[in-house]
Amino acid sequence: MSLKIFFGPYEAHGVIRHKTQKLYGLLTKLSELGYELELIATNRLNNLTIHLRDKQIYRCDLRYLMFNIDYEDDPVCQNIVKSVEETRALFDAEQNLATFDTLKKNYKGDTRDLLAEDVDLMFEIPHTYEEFKIRSTKKASVVRSLDRSL
């Protein structure tokens, strides 16, 4: 699982620069947990943003993190790691994954859950193959009756 960590510059001793020393405890703990980390410097002053699967999951002021401190001693870092783990559990929950069983030929889940709320479906796949066959034969019979009437 990869995380993108966007961090901005912050002021320390009168100098504003991008520095990763405040991220030390966070980076070590997340790498211990098996995350692949990508650090991306941004122009947002004092800003720390974490993205998982291209979705923002955490944002805070970079100045709240302690300078060069381990994970156990930094409460903000502990909060960030807890949030990342909870979000990953939600992303990986089985109920959130769309599955299709080729042997049973049915879709497990609601197709509307995969789309945004404002999207209307033009056609929804029937739950079983038999329903699909029934619908297609009905449509074919309607088309044949229209052809005969012409």
pLDDT given at position 118: 65
In 15-104, the DSSP E strands lie at: 15-17, 36-41, 47-52, 55-61, 99-101
pLDDT given at position 101: 58
User: CA angle at residue 11 from 9 to 13, to 5 degrees?
Assistant: 140
Distances from the Cα of 96 to the Cαs of 88, 106, 113, 132, in angstroms?
A: 12, 17, 9, 25
Which domains are present in the chain?
A: 2-95 (3.40.30), 99-149 (no CATH)
DSSP letter, residue 121: P
pLDDT (average), residues 131-147:
66
User: CB–CB of 2/36 below 8 Å?
Assistant: yes
Top-confidence residue, 105 or 9: 9
The number of beta carbons lying within 10 Å of the beta carbon of residue 144 is 10
Question: Encoding tokens for residue 36?
Answer: 């692949």
**Chain segment 25-58, per-residue pLDDT in tens:** 999 999 999 999 999 999 999 999 999 988 999 9
Which residue type is seen at 143? Answer: V
pLDDT-derived band at 74 (thresholds 50, 70, 90) equals very high
Question: Encoding tokens for residue 142?
Answer: 């309607």
Which residue type is seen at 70? Answer: D
Question: Encoding tokens for residue 141?
Answer: 């019979």
The number of beta carbons lying within 10 Å of the beta carbon of residue 127 is 13
**Chain segment 85-134, per-residue pLDDT in tens:** 999 988 887 667 666 655 555 555 555 555 566 666 565 655 566 666 67
Nearest Cα residue to 34 out of 85, 105, 70: 85
Q: Does the pLDDT value for residue 83 go beyond 90?
A: yes
pLDDT given at position 104: 56
Give the global pTM. 0.63
Top-confidence residue, 94 or 63: 63
